[in-house]
A and B are shown apart, each in its own frame.
Chain A
């Protein structure tokens, strides 16, 4: 029942937000829904709940992780959105808020779906819900971005549907496309059809994750979408897409096809890291830079899956840290854009003087997002690198370390310039809106905490989530 409410509540709120005229009431609706959603999602940590809809909706450790991440990130972004719509003329206020809420409903559906076709429906809906938000500014550049986003994501997701049908064809026993039955009957799955299904699903959901070379939409979309929408995509949408890849990986691993699956994941991971590093050098736009950083982190996620050993544990930990960190950096860059009108290193300067809070958060966010200690991403990247060496891929570890160093230099060059370089004309210090700074600061503290201390319940859920993905006890 809780699972159904988690989906239907934001869906109903999305409809209501479109009908409600007063801005204040809409803000209350947005934040209220987000709060209730966080509380309900949090209640799932207390113990197992009964599956709903004949087992199509159920919660397992991996789904719980993604659900909680999306829920927390959404709450932060909802609060931020209220401040953002105050600052930006709310021409799309209605569509904006109801698009956000529709996304929450769809992302929840993805997280709790144990029916893989239902998961597809949720995934396609997340794409569509955010499309009008990308086009928020209503200019030529955002039009181009939304077109690329829609077309490439739709084609990717169409291929994932083909993969889902191949998976149904591979199945011989049990309820069709139900995750539990697929895993229980994995020995009877048709191997050739299962391999085909895996490739289509990896390419399809990989496009939504933004794995290179399927990432073409990502820099344009993140660059043109309002920062909070880009943050919701980089932290929430990609986590959902990763869940799609993780589900089919669970099934193929259970069927004993690890030797087929792992090299593919490894290759996608390495290519993504190489592409991200190559395009980050010389990039001057903060949001495009962060888009390539997202390509990098998506690459690390599948790399960890492909390594086996402790790799999948590193991956799920990385999933948590990446989602929270993306919230920090995108929202802070959003503050820079609101203050200076640009995310480009040439135009946005002297941020530390003009926006004291955002300046500091952006600086610390730089270290967090590049995986420097003591932030959480350092711990998860370290786990993945360790797994690479332990699993007998020292060259993979070596290449990854080299690429991470390049990425650090590429990011630092731009961020340090934006933060420290003196502004051309002396601009007054802005008194920052707490709605726009509270969220990023809270997320930054969480990422810092997870780098220093992992609460035992979280560790247990992470380990249980990694279990189906081929983790072997370290």
Chain B
């Protein structure tokens, strides 16, 4: 099974680049849905032997990250009738390049983190680079919905990191984490919907009335 989870982890990195490089919002949501499905498959391939804990974690993750949240975000862009991310703070090719830098950086950092039995040598670098890509999308995209996608990618990176500790964090807590993220993104989606109605735009740069 060792080859399989490394393949999955590499695919997670590819979906990161997909999110970074595309202008169509529907396409970035599709990328996060696929990323969610990959994350759901990871725990069962990473840890040999089927335990109820791992299967339940995989099922919950699949349901929330690959099905419910993406469909909800699709609903949000359909309601708001937005299609593209226009003029991000950093251009698409530049952000792809930054993504590559993030991956290189993550491999460098991961070698210096002495994690006990991470399960796979790729796990930590992929987790860190996904966190960085999430932060990059969050800070450089203007559309409120792109920022939600960035937050989702950031949380996915932390989830991958958490997999290195999966057997040590109890299921109840994982469930709580998953639920919180779900509700968080749900509320963000509602707010995005209201922003669109109030401003006729999903552009979060329009949100600039409040200042000192």
- Chain B, interface residues (CB within 8 Å), range: 35 or more
* Stretch from A61-69, A74-82, A219-227, A368-376 forming part of the interface with B: A219-227
- Which residue from A139, A165, A172 sits with its C-beta under 8 Å from B161? A165
* Stretch from B8-16, B90-98, B182-190 forming part of the interface with A: B182-190
Interface residues of B in 171-212 (CB under 8 A from A): 172-173, 176-177, 180, 183-184, 187-188, 191, 194-195, 198-199, 204, 207-210, 212
Minimum CB–CB distance from B136 to chain A (whole Å) comes to 12
Write out the residue numbers on chain B whose beta carbons fall within 8 Å of the beta carbon of A168.
Answer: 165, 168-169
Instruction: Please tell me if the beta carbons of B114 and A124 are within 8 angstroms of each other in the complex.
Output: no
- Chain A, interface residues (CB within 8 Å), range: 35 or more
CA of A284 to CA of B208, assembled, Å: 18
* Stretch from A155-163, A385-393, A457-465 forming part of the interface with B: A155-163
Measured CB to CB, the nearest residue on chain A to B180 is A124
Q: Does A247 contact B (CB under 8 A)?
A: no
Q: Does B151 contact A (CB under 8 A)?
A: yes
CA of A127 to CA of B187, assembled, Å: 11
Q: Does A192 contact B (CB under 8 A)?
A: yes
Task: Give the one of A165, A190, A219 with max B CB within 10 A.
Answer: A165
Instruction: Please tell me if the beta carbons of B169 and A144 are within 8 angstroms of each other in the complex.
Output: no
* Stretch from A112-120, A255-263, A294-302, A431-439 forming part of the interface with B: A112-120
Instruction: Please tell me if the beta carbons of B164 and A169 are within 8 angstroms of each other in the complex.
Output: yes
Measured CB to CB, the nearest residue on chain B to A223 is B210
- Which residue from A117, A139, A169, A279 sits with its C-beta under 8 Å from B116? A169
Main secondary structure of the interface of B (DSSP, over half): helix
Interface residues of A in 202-248 (CB under 8 A from B): 219-220, 223-224
Q: Does A44 contact B (CB under 8 A)?
A: no
Instruction: Please tell me if the beta carbons of A158 and B207 are within 8 angstroms of each other in the complex.
Output: no
Measured CB to CB, the nearest residue on chain B to A171 is B168
CA of A169 to CA of B110, assembled, Å: 13
Q: Does B115 contact A (CB under 8 A)?
A: yes
Q: Does A131 contact B (CB under 8 A)?
A: yes
Given contacts A124-B184, A176-B170, A223-B210, 13 further A-B contacts (CB under 8 A): A121-B173, A148-B207, A150-B187, A155-B151, A161-B177, A165-B162, A168-B165, A168-B168, A169-B165, A172-B116, A219-B212, A220-B210, A288-B212
What are 24 of the A-B contact pairs (CB < 8 Å)?
A115-B173, A118-B172, A118-B176, A131-B187, A143-B191, A143-B198, A144-B210, A147-B191, A147-B195, A148-B207, A151-B147, A158-B151, A162-B158, A165-B158, A165-B165, A165-B169, A169-B165, A176-B168, A176-B170, A190-B114, A192-B114, A196-B113, A219-B210, A223-B210
